[in-house]
Homo-oligomer: A and B are copies of this chain.
Amino acid sequence: MNRLKELLNIKYPIIQGGMIWCSGWKLASAVSNNGGLGLIGAGSMYPDVLRTHIKKCKKATDKPFGVNLPLLYPNIKEHIKIIIDEGVKIVVTSAGNPKLYTSFLKENGITVLHVVASKKFALKCVEADVDAIIAEGFEAGGHNGIDEITTMCLIPKIKKSVDIPIIAAGGISSGKAILAAFSLGADGVQIGSLFAVSKESSAHLNFKEYVTNSKENDTILTLKELTPVRLLKNEFYYKIELAYKNNASSEELKKILGRGRAKKGIFEGDLKNGELEIGQVSSHIKNILSVDEIFSNLISDFNSQKNILSKINF
């Protein structure tokens, strides 16, 4: 029995991270059709775009899927209206206070998961009556917490403090890592980077190839004064790095960041000027695979490592 599979009515306790410019209906439906939970990333979508993606996702799968809603983006209320209108049953909220919308969403029959990066915010989720917590470690890609707590330290810490299901995120791109997450006490995992470079991801091929060619220390958590973000180092990042060396103010950093950097990098494939958000597992990913292949790899790796583990005796 797995609490998360029951809560979400899914076959595998694997959630695909809702990622801006990567996870539209194509990726989300492919994940759901494989037995995981696909998420449409609303953060990069205007309301009408979100509606279109939800409609297409419903046509492409009869399995549960959800929407990821970063609470710091504009249009939140419109997004929520569309989610309810279209009958989406699962919402993952992030980057904001879980008290804001959880009760309203639940009143409308929606299961609510919230992303946190510390025990402190996990406790706020419980107070807000969130259904499950996605606990995201320092190694995760994209926008992240400021506290730098790694998955290895975060999951056991939260596990000791809350009773609702915990989904581990950050550093997970293999069946072995899924097994490690369960060892730490998680009920499931959220996987981002691996799906960001899948065939079904909307990311530009340039971005996917840059990720699959990256090396072990090519990502960094930066811009901690604005919104901390883990990204691949490139020309844009080196501008940020130089600004830090010159003691730039937050205002100056904001100016360098500008607007639409993530779209430029991830969706348009501008490897020089774009913001290339990805997790520290970036260098573990060597091929651009279909979601079918990814699931098949994850599950066989999980089972064979579990078999190895069963033979270790203390």
| Residues of A in contact with B (beta carbons under 8 Å apart) | 2, 12, 118-120, 137-139, 147-153, 156-157, 170-172, 174, 176-177, 179-185, 216-217, 220-221, 247, 280-281, 283-284, 299, 302-303, 305-306, 309-310, 312, 314
Contact = CB atoms under 8 A, between A and B. Distances in A.
Contacts of A149: 216-217, 280
B156 A177 contact: yes
Given A138-B150, A182-B312, A185-B305, 12 more contacts: A118-B216, A118-B217, A120-B216, A137-B152, A150-B150, A152-B177, A153-B284, A176-B184, A179-B183, A183-B305, A183-B309, A310-B310
26 contacts: A2-B312, A119-B216, A120-B216, A138-B150, A139-B152, A139-B153, A148-B220, A150-B151, A150-B152, A152-B152, A152-B172, A153-B216, A153-B280, A153-B281, A156-B174, A157-B216, A176-B184, A177-B183, A177-B184, A179-B180, A180-B183, A183-B183, A303-B314, A306-B309, A306-B312, A310-B310
Contacts of A150: 137-139, 150-152, 170-171, 280
Given A284-B153, A299-B314, A179 B309 contact: yes
